[in-house]
Every structure is written in structure tokens, then in C-alpha cells.
Structure 1
Amino acid sequence: MSKVSLVRSIAALCVLATPSIAQNGPSQSLLTSLSPGQSRSVDISLRARIGPLELARGSFKVSLTQESYSGEATYRTSGIAASFNNDAGVATVKGAIDNGQLKPRSFVNQETNGKRRRITMAFGGRSVDVTAAPMWSSMGFPPATLAQKLEAVDPVTGLMELSLVTGRDAGRACGGAVKIFDGKRRYDIRTQYVGTENVSTPAYKGPATYCRGTYTEVAGFNQKKPGESREPIRLEIWLADVGKMGVSVPVRMTGSKGIYTAVLYADRAVVR
């Protein structure tokens, strides 16, 4: 995998700053523990780098009530990476919380550089309606099927689900597969709980829940060039209860493929 390809993936993964219930023994999902009229919000900013070189910056804001949620993620390549691939955009989602499950209703991703493509998705019971302007020249090889779209959620909801929903029976933030569709590409993020490790970032220093996982392409991706690897991106994620608010957030993450390893870390995290 080239450095440029990993830069693109890590820029997209900047939206992985999602909230999760703190891991202090057995716990409910935050999605089922909010009372009527109660809300919770998380605001995180992140940076990604390979070695000393900055690759990307991102931010994530999410608000949850007992019945609904909304989220906004921003991302842009920065530093030397911007000279290879100048990606930037804002993704927003609104949805419902039904019996502890996130149900997206509307999703918008607006690119703010390059072709400035705008992607909108409307989720119905038996359909996922997608519009993109301008349209892609190809829907990928192979393109995502209706069944693959229906089994998935949008990127922001999916990455919230990664920490809020999966592994609840074990009282852990990780442990399962999240299926994501971004309007063209279908991919899976699979994680497994490993244990507890100390971590140090500008936003947090101390013990954190440590998980490993993979980012795997399923459908809708551009056709690989001869000799280009199809191996998944290997992930490591550290989640911590920043500010002792009872909500854990990702404070550090690595993505590795081939000879490159990118590090994503939180430089600011506020939970209210």
C-alpha cells in the first residue's frame, strides 16, 4: 500500500472519535442509560501522523438524548500529506435511538476541497437512497449491492456504534463487527478487546481500554492496480474515561498496512 493511500484512509478514520460508556466493570450502554430530558455531548479534536510528519486533522462532535442523536465530523489532510492528497470535508448525521440501537435517518458528506462532491443518504426500512453531485465515474469493483447497503449504517453512526454498542455483554467497548456504507464504499470495522494499557496523549494520560481490529474493504472500492495489496488495515484503539465523566472516548489509534503505520491521537477531548 502506498503512503498516499494510507493517508486517505487515516483522514477518513479521523471520525473515529466516538463516545463509549466507561469500562469500570459491568455497565449499560449509554444508549439505554439516559433518562428523559437528559443529554450527553462529546467534543474531540484529533491529529494523525506517520513518524514526525503530520498527515491529517479531524474533529468530532456528538449529542445524544434518550430518543435521538446527531453527530458532526470534520476532516482534512495537513502537513506534508496535503501536498500528496488535499482531502477535506464535513459529515453530519441525524437519527433515532430505538431500544438501544442507533438508527440513522439522514446523512450528508460535503467535500470542501477538490471536486467538492456532496453525498446525501436517506435511510428507509427497505431502501438506502443515495445522491451524489458530481457523480462518481465508477461505483467500484464490485459495486455495493442493495443487501450490503441495507445491512450497514453511515460512517458517523457506524463509528459511534463501534464504541457505544458492540461488546456490551462483556462490558467492553470493543468486540464485534460494524458494517458501514458511505454512499459508494462498503467496509467493515472489526474489533476485539485485549486488555488495559497506560497511554499518553495531549488529551489524556493514564489507563485505557486497549482493542485491536481491522478495517476491511467489502465493495464499492476502486479496482486494485496490479500487485496492489488487498490486505486489511490493522487497527489498534485505546479508549479512556476523560475527565471521569463516565464516558470513554478514543484517545489514541494506529492504522498499519504494508511498511507504514499512522498514529491518530486526541489533542483535546471534552465530555459534558
Structure 2
Amino acid sequence: MSDGSEAYRLHNRLPGACGPGALSKRRRGGAGCRPDRRDLCAGLAGINLGEFTVTAAYSASAYEMAADGRFSLLAGLLYKATGKTTSNGRLTEESPQPARYTLSYEDSKKSQQLRMSFAGGAVSDVKIVPHKKPNPRDLPVTAEQLKGVLDPLTAAFLSVRSDAPPGDLKVCGQTIKVFDGRQRFNIALTPKRTETLGRGAPKGLSARVAVCRVRYEPIGGYRPDHPGVQFMQKTDEVEAWLVSVPGTEFYVPYKVLVPTAWGTGTVTLTDMKVAVGAQRAAAP
């Protein structure tokens, strides 16, 4: 990126308990999230589900993001995988305009790579290796549905921008259109309440937080009778606690809570660093 760019790194770790369904004790001997590493760490019912590093750099007109790490997925069974994902594109006054998104992961049985390109404000190409035939029971994704969408990484970290003061629930009033290469869905944010950060929050963040209710709205590329899809459609208990990135107009999740049959999944931000480029820093 250019000298006038800004970069920030988010690193998170699992709190001692993840919510109402958390286990009384965390598993011993597991690879816990280390506070000395720059990690994004997710947990479910007291079990560490992964560690990720998320970095982003952007200028006035462009952005680049990357995330990598290891994670465990719950799909009936718990299994481990490692993966990397990247996204880059342009920043406009209206919204980010992704240009390319990649995702690669592998576990003990298989590996897969996904590459997705954008052009003219829409998805222009998707390549998945190895190719897998879509489930005939999945609802199709149409070309019209792929207009104006964001990839998952851009949607998570660059889709919410506002000049409203911290804790203002106006940041929750939007719907984010997402396509992950297979499934097209919306993430609808609506105001829920305001909260105050505790002493363990990263330094430099405002004490006031906007808590948004998050609704998952499947559009295409999914099986209507899938239990996970049905559960996420019905629940209104998913929350995103949004905090502003210091010195920017961007808001990122400080905490995300997701109820599941096993307990409450959570991701909590434990540190945030913002580096401002020389030209921007020298400006009056």
C-alpha cells in the first residue's frame, strides 16, 4: 500500500467462559489462545475452536486483508483444519468494492482452494479446486443475486462505516449482502442495546459499544431443510458488539455471540493496534 495507508491488526483470545452454556472448566492440555500472539480466537462452550491472525491495510481508495490460522469445525463432529483467506479491492464512499477473494484450507482428509473474482460490482468468476458437484437439493444462486455482494472477509471487517459517536445504534441499521463462493446470504443488523466495555477491553477503545442483533437470511446455494440453516434462520439471539477502529470510520466486532445446541459460541477482541502511514500522520 502507499505511504498514506493505514494498517491495523486485530488479535483475540478466548475468554475464560463463553456464555450461559460454557463448561465449568476449560479443557487442559489443549492449545489455548496465547495473549502474547496476535490471534483471533473463537470458542464454543469453553472449548477452543481456533486461532486466527487477521490483518488489514488500506489507503483512501484501496484495501488488502489476510487471515490465517487453525480452526475446528462443528458439522456433527469436531475436526481440525488449517486455512488462509485473503481479500483486496477498492474503497468508495458508498461501500467496499472487492476485486479478488481467496480461501484455502486443509484437514486430515482433504484440501480445497477457492478463488473468486469481481467485476462491475458483481461476482464474475468462481473457481473451486477440487470441483464438487452442487447438491441437487440446494437452491440455485442466480446472476442477479451476485450483484453488489461482499466476500466474507470484507463483510466482517470493512462493511460497517460511520461517523456516528461510539455506541450510537445507527451503525446497526444495515443489511450486508454476502457470497462465500457457494452460498449467498444476507446479514441483517438491527439495533439492540448499548453496552459499556469492562476493564479487560483493549486500550484506546471507547467505553461505549453498539450491540446489534444479527439475523442470517439465506438467499441461494443452501438446502432449505438443513438443520443448521433452519436454526440460524429462526434464532434472534446472535449479537455483534461493534467498536470503532481508532482514527478511522470503520467499525469491527468486539464480540460476537452465537447460540448453538452445544452452548454459546463467542469471539472476543483482546487487542487492537492502528498504524497510520507517514503522510497521514504528518497532515495537520
Question: Which residue type is aligned with residue 118 of structure 2?
Answer: F
Structure 1 position 271, deviation (Å): 1.9
Gaps of 5+ in 1: 1-35
Q: Provide the TM-score with structure 1 as the length reference.
A: 0.72
Equivalent in 159, 177, 180 of residue 179 of structure 1: 177
Structure 1 position 185, deviation (Å): 1.0
Q: How does 1:126-137 map to 2 (within 5 A)?
A: 128-137=124-133
Partner of 1:193: 191
Question: Which residue type is aligned with residue 204 of structure 1?
Answer: P
Structure 1 position 129, deviation (Å): 0.6
Structure 1 position 180, deviation (Å): 0.6
Relative to 1, partners in 2 of residues 1:197 and 1:208: Cα closer, same or farther, differing over 3 Å? same
Write the distance in 1 (CA, Å) between the matches of 2:82 and 2:123. Answer: 28
Relative to 1, partners in 2 of residues 1:133 and 1:119: Cα closer, same or farther, differing over 3 Å? same
Structure 1 position 268, deviation (Å): 2.8
Write the distance in 1 (CA, Å) between the matches of 2:78 and 2:111. Answer: 17
Partner of 1:252: 255
Write the distance in 2 (CA, Å) between the matches of 1:43 and 1:71. Answer: 10
SS in 1 for 2:159: helix
Relative to 1, partners in 2 of residues 1:146 and 1:75: Cα closer, same or farther, differing over 3 Å? farther
Relative to 1, partners in 2 of residues 1:225 and 1:191: Cα closer, same or farther, differing over 3 Å? closer
Per-residue CA deviations over 1:130-176 (Å, capped at 9, x if unaligned) read 111011231560121111122312111222343226999x8843211
Are residues 1:122 and 2:112 paired?
A: no
CA contact (8 A) 2:169 2:194 kept: no
Relative to 1, partners in 2 of residues 1:248 and 1:134: Cα closer, same or farther, differing over 3 Å? same
Relative to 1, partners in 2 of residues 1:190 and 1:182: Cα closer, same or farther, differing over 3 Å? same
Are residues 1:77 and 2:74 paired?
A: no
Relative to 1, partners in 2 of residues 1:248 and 1:129: Cα closer, same or farther, differing over 3 Å? closer
SS in 2 for 1:173: helix
Q: How does 1:136-155 map to 2 (within 5 A)?
A: 136-138=132-134, 141-155=138-152
Partner of 1:224: 225
Q: How does 1:206-217 map to 2 (within 5 A)?
A: 206-217=207-218
SS in 2 for 1:163: coil
Partner of 1:235: 238
Structure 1 position 124, deviation (Å): 1.4
Sequence identity percentage: 22
Structure 1 position 117, deviation (Å): 0.8
SS in 1 for 2:155: helix
CA contact (8 A) 2:176 2:186 kept: yes
Write the distance in 2 (CA, Å) between the matches of 1:174 and 1:167. Answer: 11
Write the distance in 2 (CA, Å) between the matches of 1:235 and 1:184. Answer: 22
Structure 1 position 236, deviation (Å): 0.8
Question: Which residue type is aligned with residue 68 of structure 1?
Answer: A
Larger radius of gyration: 2
Gaps of 5+ in 2: 12-39, 276-284
SS in 2 for 1:86: strand
Are residues 1:104 and 2:98 paired?
A: yes
Write the distance in 2 (CA, Å) between the matches of 1:181 and 1:224. Answer: 20
Structure 1 position 79, deviation (Å): 10
Q: Provide the TM-score with structure 2 as the length reference.
A: 0.70
SS in 2 for 1:151: coil
Relative to 1, partners in 2 of residues 1:78 and 1:117: Cα closer, same or farther, differing over 3 Å? closer
CA contact (8 A) 2:169 2:211 kept: no
